[in-house]
Amino acid sequence: METLEALKKRRSIRKYKPEQITDEELNKVIEAGLYAPSAVGRQPWKFVVLQNKEDLDALTLLNVHFRKAPETMKPYYEAPTVIVVFGDTEDQPFYEYDCTLALGNMMNAAFDLGLGSCWIWGEKQMFEMEEGKALMEKWGLSANLGGVGAIALGYPDVEQPEAAPRREGTVIIRK
């Protein structure tokens, strides 16, 4: 698939089949994240891949508590895989931007592989909460990491949505 075509067609997917993605697909998505650009080549990210029910349930509950939402809410759309991206907050002033680029690379790679993905927000605030810090400790993460974002990942169980028309007047070219 050509890059520009893929960028135009990739959309967020919010309904997934229950079967797990393959290790080969997962590794390709992760590799795309690892090759994202980063300020001064620092690569400040740490990817935590969750595929077991216990961790996915704990993450979902943390997100629900952060949002003060009903416990029936499914913020990760019951995707079989969630990749949570953390960044090194120590002497890494651009970690949030760098990690966001990694998330974008992973979502584009997922689409190229026929997978669905959706950016999930709130990880920054969730992992600043005491219960978020406890989850980080359980996962063996250092306290100098800050949550940036996550992607739900799996086989789509919906038709690929169409892109909304692009807004006019968002580009200024001065020569």
Alpha helices in 92-161 (DSSP H): 95-112, 123-126, 130-138
Task: Give the pLDDT of residue 91.
Answer: 80
| pTM (whole model) above 0.85 | yes
> What is the rounded CA–CA span in Å between residue 38 and residue 41?
5
69: amino acid identity, one letter: A
pLDDT at 17: 98
| List of the chain residues with pLDDT < 70 | 1
Could you give all domains of the chain from N- to C-terminal order, each with its CATH number? 10-154 (3.40.109.10)
Reported residue count of the chain is: 175
Give the tens place of pLDDT for each residue, 81-128: 999 999 999 988 999 999 999 999 999 999 999 999 999 999 999 999
With DSSP H G I counted as helix, E B as strand and the rest as coil, what are the percentages for the chain, rounded to 5?
Answer: 40, 20, 45
